[in-house]
Structure 1
Amino acid sequence: MADYQGEKFKEFLKTRNISVIKAAEMLGVSRNTVYQYFGSSSLTRETVINIITHFNTTEEEVFGIISKKPYENARIIGELPEENPENTRFIEISPGRYRMSVPLVEYQAKAGYLMEYADHTFIEELPRHEITVSKYHRGKYIAFEVDGDSMDDGTINSIPDGCIITCREIKRDLWQSKLHTHKYPNWVFVHRSKGVVVKQIKSQDLDTGVILLHSLNPNKDLYPDYEIHLDDVLQIFNVVKREF
């Protein structure tokens, strides 16, 4: 494998007048990770693919390396059209293995998301989060950064403060049926007054549209179960992956 000098990536950003903050947003990583790239003498192949894909460039332009197969084992699957209006992207990194990139709502952006969740431009400008998947998923996906410890009970089932959860939206026309809590025990509700909340579902009343939400944290004085009505809910997602 060829050595990919992080210093060359740093110089590439300078030539394009791209800040570290902007680079981190485009790559879907933290600023600290970008600085780690700068100091690396041998970036991983996956990182190189991520760089040349999201900056719409080539290995030669960034690293001075000419390759007959610019992406070698990686194949850009691209953006799904109608099923993924919020720009979910896939890159094949090996047969049957894909990097799935989705918009990320960081905890400080949750208030803005509540107002702009339907604005395509707002969603496009969000930073991105990537996970590895084994197939090409359809549907609308988004990731949220968790704040607070209401879903932390100290066990492997916790969703602790700072955790990134990747979620799939449940279409509104399916809300009239029972939400399947066995396969997906954790849910995100975008609520008009409570904001973006991560909870489990304790019970559902299909006749009244009332859902009883449950926090994993055993301190019920701080985190009691409470009811919401579907009329006050803007979006519902099930949590498909947690990353700590």
Structure 2
Amino acid sequence: MHIIKELRRKIGISQSKFAQEIGVSLRTVQLYERKEANIPMKNLKKIADFFDMTIPELYIYEFHDPQGSYRNRKPHTKHGNVFYPLDHGKYLAMSPLVLMEQQKEYIARVLTNTPSQNAFQTGFVLDYVDDSPYMAFEVTGDSMNNGTIDSIPNKCLVLGQELERSLFEKEVEPWLNKPYVLVCKNRILCKQVTTFNSEKNSVNCHNLNTSPEFQDFELALEDVLQIFKIVRRQF
């Protein structure tokens, strides 16, 4: 990434020192800056953290750099998301973001079928782009935080890919035991869906946090307005 060199020079750090900071060789940094080597996600995270940025912010800088290799690539917009083509078939998705304080307004818009007018966006790097709508949400509470790599803690930003409820009901097995954002008539939930009761047309919502205050519960799908499968998290 050409932008690594620019950011590094702005703070006056040499290639060798920067290599030490992120735990790679000098040669590796040189290859990264010349875009002659793919940057593994774990190293990309180290680079972004070093510059006090997120990975999407790093890509945005690179994409708008007049000397960068992305300058001739045009983003495309779909369902309110802007997708920037990256290397190796990946995309940077800039998606509408529903913050905690905007949840009631978002639900009201869904109920009245009013187009969302989200003032905020956030970015996620995707391996591919599906035709389904994407939406980002700020998670409320620690019910999905069990201290493991699968945790979704309070104020975590998640990117959800919308699933048709009819598809979810017909072919439920592939969708079980995965985390979802469930937009209901009176609240927005972040839960793991573990079982589906076809007779009651309901799902069991499971909390990863085993604290007694977080109890699993049954949720009727008739109360669910939208179902988003969580595909990315941002802490």
Q: What is the TM-score with the length of structure 1 in the denominator? A: 0.66
SS at match of 2:86: strand
**Conserved in 1, the CA contact under 8 Å of 2:135 and 2:161?**
yes
Whichever residue aligns with residue 231 of structure 1, its letter is: E
Give 1:160's match in structure 2, choosing from 153, 175, 181. Answer: 153
More helix by share: 2
1:73 deviates by: 2.6
Aligned match of 1:31:
none
Change (3 A) 1:95 1:213: closer
Q: Is 1:134 matched up with 2:127?
A: yes
- Structure 2 residue runs without a partner (length 5+): 11-51
Aligned match of 1:200:
192
Aligned match of 1:105:
98
Change (3 A) 1:155 1:180: same
Q: Matched residues in 2 for 1:164 and 1:114: separation?
A: 18
**Conserved in 2, the CA contact under 8 Å of 1:190 and 1:236?**
yes
Q: What is the TM-score with the length of structure 2 in the denominator? A: 0.68
Aligned match of 1:33:
none
SS at match of 2:151: coil
Change (3 A) 1:160 1:99: same
Aligned match of 1:49:
63
Give 1:180's match in structure 2, choosing from 174, 177, 182. Answer: 174
Q: Matched residues in 1 for 2:184 and 2:90: separation?
A: 35
**Conserved in 2, the CA contact under 8 Å of 1:98 and 1:132?**
yes
Q: Deviations over 1:48-82 (max 9, x none)?
A: 635xxxxxxxx7xxxxxxx6xx87434123113xx
Aligned match of 1:237:
228
Q: Matched residues in 2 for 1:104 and 1:209: separation?
A: 29
Q: Matched residues in 2 for 1:198 and 1:153: separation?
A: 14
1:216 deviates by: 0.9
Q: Deviations over 1:182-205 (max 9, x none)?
A: 5x6101111113x00001113211
Change (3 A) 1:231 1:97: closer
**Which one is further off, 206-215 or 123-132?**
123-132
Give 2:114's match in structure 1, choosing from 115, 119, 144. Answer: 119
Q: Matched residues in 2 for 1:226 and 1:237: separation?
A: 18
Aligned alpha-carbon RMSD (Å): 2.8
Change (3 A) 1:174 1:92: same
The percentage of counterpart residues that share the same residue type is 25
- Structure 1 residue runs without a partner (length 5+): 7-35, 38-42, 51-58, 60-66
Q: Matched residues in 2 for 1:44 and 1:141: separation?
A: 21
Change (3 A) 1:130 1:171: same
**Conserved in 2, the CA contact under 8 Å of 1:212 and 1:227?**
yes
Q: Matched residues in 1 for 2:127 and 2:222: separation?
A: 36
Aligned match of 2:217:
226
